[in-house]
């Protein structure tokens, strides 16, 4: 392996320590404890695990966490009532509704109902629109984590060509917008399944971000020597292990820096949710 490893676990620990310090200071100086509410509908095992991890993360940094578990047959009206109640709850600074929701529920409608000032998951169309015009409120947690990893690795995005593979509303689209904001100033190509000669496009990049959800999509011949590779993908291999979208062992022989899966972007996603919740508490109380 010639590439340097970009360790998301290490960076997440450092950032969580800073967040914990800020939460403690906010309590001591202003008698404020940031609060995060997570709504889980149904009994999807992966969602239960993920919400549980978020609950533990909050406890580690001193953020008050409220878990609201609803049955899978919860109606649209009942779920909307829950969100409306959290919107009006002054103890709650951030709201997230864990996706995916059961098929009979309108996820977009729920996202639209979350108060923008509490939209720490950055899925409300208002939040996305603010980012699109270059005046963001909250940054989507996974793309936010990618930016922090690039900065931690010393990757200068100013004037750099970044190829983002994947155009989802969770990662690809918001990340592309974030990278073009003033101060980051990257030149971004948003690639996807219909991109012609994806390998050739990727070889022109200083940074490749893979966010598709397809095992070993990015191979060594797609990466320019010395480029930085960020793997957002999470897939289950045949042996049950967690792997990314990048053929890690082969690409690591070509790239200059690379994130692992697991231990790269994943820990950062949850950490940036904590950061957004802290920021929401500050803004809602005029402490910025």
Active site residues per annotation: 54, 98, 121
CB atoms within 10 A of CB 12: 24
CA distance 212 to 207: 16
- Using CA of residue 19, residue 23, residue 29, residue 34, what is the dihedral sign? positive
Give me the count of residues in the chain. Answer: 288
Residue 9 makes CB contacts below 8 A (sequence gap 6+) with 263, 267
SS3 173: helix
φ/ψ bin of 151: left (φ > 0), alpha (ψ from -120 to 50), beta (otherwise): alpha
Q: What is residue 171's three-state secondary structure?
A: coil
Handedness of CA 2, 12, 242, 247 (dihedral sign): negative
Backbone angles phi, psi at 285, to 5 degrees: -110, 10
Q: CA dihedral in degrees (258, 262, 266, 268; nearest 10)?
A: -60
Sign of torsion over alpha carbons 54, 55, 58, 60: negative
């Amino acid at each position: 392996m010639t590439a340097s490893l970009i360790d998301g676990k290490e960076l997440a620990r450092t950032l969580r320590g800073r967040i914990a310090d800020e939460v403690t200071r906010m309590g001591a100086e202003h008698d404020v404890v940031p609060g995060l509410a997570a709504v889980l509908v149904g009994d999807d095992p992966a969602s239960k695990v993920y919400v549980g991890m978020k609950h533990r993360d909050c406890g580690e940094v001193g953020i008050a966490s409220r878990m609201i578990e609803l049955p899978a047959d919860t109606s649209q009206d009942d779920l909307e009532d829950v969100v409306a109640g959290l919107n009006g709850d002054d103890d709650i600074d951030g709201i997230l509704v864990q996706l995916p929701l059961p098929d009979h529920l309108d996820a977009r409608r729920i996202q639209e109902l979350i108060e923008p000032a509490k939209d720490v998951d950055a899925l409300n169309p208002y939040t996305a629109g603010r980012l699109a015009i270059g005046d963001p409120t909250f940054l989507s947690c996974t793309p936010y984590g990618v930016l922090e990893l690039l900065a931690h690795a010393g990757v200068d995005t100013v004037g750099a060509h970044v190829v983002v593979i994947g155009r989802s509303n969770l990662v690809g689209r918001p990340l592309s917008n974030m990278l073009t904001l003033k101060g980051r100033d990257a030149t971004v190509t948003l690639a996807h399944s219909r991109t012609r000669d994806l390998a050739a496009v990727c070889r022109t990049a200083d940074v490749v971000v893979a966010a598709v959800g397809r095992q070993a999509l990015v191979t060594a011949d797609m990466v320019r020597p010395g480029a930085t590779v960020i793997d957002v993908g999470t897939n289950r291999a045949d042996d049950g292990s967690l792997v990314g979208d990048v053929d890690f062992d082969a690409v690591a022989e070509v790239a200059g820096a690379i994130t692992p899966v697991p231990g790269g972007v994943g820990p950062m996603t949850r950490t940036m949710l904590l950061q957004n919740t802290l920021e929401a508490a500050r803004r809602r109380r005029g402490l910025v």
